Amino acid sequence: MANRKRNIQMKFYVTEEEKRLIDEKMAQLPTRRYGAYLRKMAIDGYIIYTDTTDIKEMNAALSAIGRNINQIARRVNAGGNVYQADMEEIRERLDQIWQLQRRILLSQR
């Protein structure tokens, strides 16, 4: 054992579902040894990270607009008035959404 090229053992646990997924992916390759497959994936595999910060920000802006519109609709349905300030706030929020959409689209180029 002292002459082993790979002398550090690594262990980890998986669920039955994770094991099934590993087996499915491993079946697509010629290897049948877990150690070889997992080592290759850990070293040469890649991770795709998608930054969704802009999308989350846009969703928050959309939610805020939805809340404002609901408040205005309740006031109008109750016989109240629509205020210019409410309409201006909705326009400002819509401008924020358009800016976010442009930024998202430009960042994907």
Q: What is the pLDDT of residue 64?
A: 85
**Are residues 75 and 81 in contact, defined by beta-carbon separation less than 8 angstroms?**
yes
Low-confidence ranges of the chain (pLDDT < 70): 1-2, 108-109
**Are residues 46 and 99 in contact, defined by beta-carbon separation less than 8 angstroms?**
no
Q: What is the pLDDT of residue 3?
A: 84
Q: What is the pLDDT of residue 109?
A: 66
Instruction: Please write the tens of the pLDDT for every residue from 9-27.
Output: 999 999 999 999 999 999 9
Q: What is the pLDDT of residue 55?
A: 82
CA distances, 29 to each of 16, 23, 83, 99 (Å): 21, 10, 65, 46
